[in-house]
Amino acid sequence: MYQNQNAAPVNPLPHVLILLAVALGAAEPFLYLQKLGLLGGVSGLDGRSALLQDFFLPAGQLSWMLENGRFDGALLKRFVTYIFVDGSFTGTVFTLVFTLALGNIVARAFGTWRFLVLFFVPAVVGAVAYSLIAGAVSHNGALYGGMPGAYGLIGAFTWMMWAGVLRHPMGETSPFALIGFLVAFRVLLAPVFGWHWATTAEWGGFIMGFALSIVLVPGGWASLLRRLRKR
């Protein structure tokens, strides 16, 4: 059997995924160098809080915008900018791990522009869900980090397995094992780290990613109807 001796040891990542990963992680080396005092910061002082002030989405912002009739760009941009700065280095790492692992599959299956839609639209929808729900319960917090977008990719990946685009040896219900594991993981960690309303953005992202997959794939809606009729 012929083997290409010059083949890469691992499949190269799609360029769009690499660019997205760079954008999601770009703040971390900047913050590290700033903490070392090499970018105008004070040595030993973490500038993450100051940077978050320019990027995060305040809870209830959408409700405030609706009540006051203000929809200027400075307010609307936060429904996207919050993705690019996380509250911790660990949070950024988790976002990158999920985005790279699932994005590699989703980007190859859906193509460049559909992949971007499946990341950014769920992230925006998740931010809207967070802003409305957190505002309704008078939660005084903020949304930051790219996990809602990563959950959009989880939703797309789940749809791919459920629809049979990807075969799974454990059967038809196994695609939802991943999201079930993530729910259980959140519940188990809640007593330690507390409940965070950002979870509403993540579930909103997952649902939107799953729903968008039906629309973005040619024949996806017909495939969904066929599967529902079988049940």
Specify whether the CB–CB gap between 115 and 141 falls below 8 A: no
CA angle 215-183-204, nearest 5°? 35
> Which two tokens mark 218?
């040619």
User: Mind listing the pLDDT tens digit of every residue in the chain (231 residues)?
Assistant: 444 555 455 568 899 999 999 999 999 998 888 877 776 655 555 678 888 999 999 988 888 898 888 888 888 999 999 999 998 898 899 899 999 989 999 999 898 999 999 999 999 999 999 998 887 877 788 999 999 999 999 999 888 887 776 655 444 545 566 666 666 666 565 555 555 778 889 999 999 999 999 888 765 556 655 655 565
- Which CATH number does 15-230 carry? 1.20.1540.10
Q: CB-based burial of residue 184 (10 Å sphere; 0-12 exposed, 13-18 middle, 19+ buried)?
A: exposed
Q: Where are the domains of the chain?
A: 15-230
Could you give the angle at the alpha carbon of 174 between the alpha carbons of 170 and 176, nearest 5°? 175
pTM of whole model > 0.75?
Answer: yes
Residue closest to 20 by CA, chosen among 87, 147, 119: 119
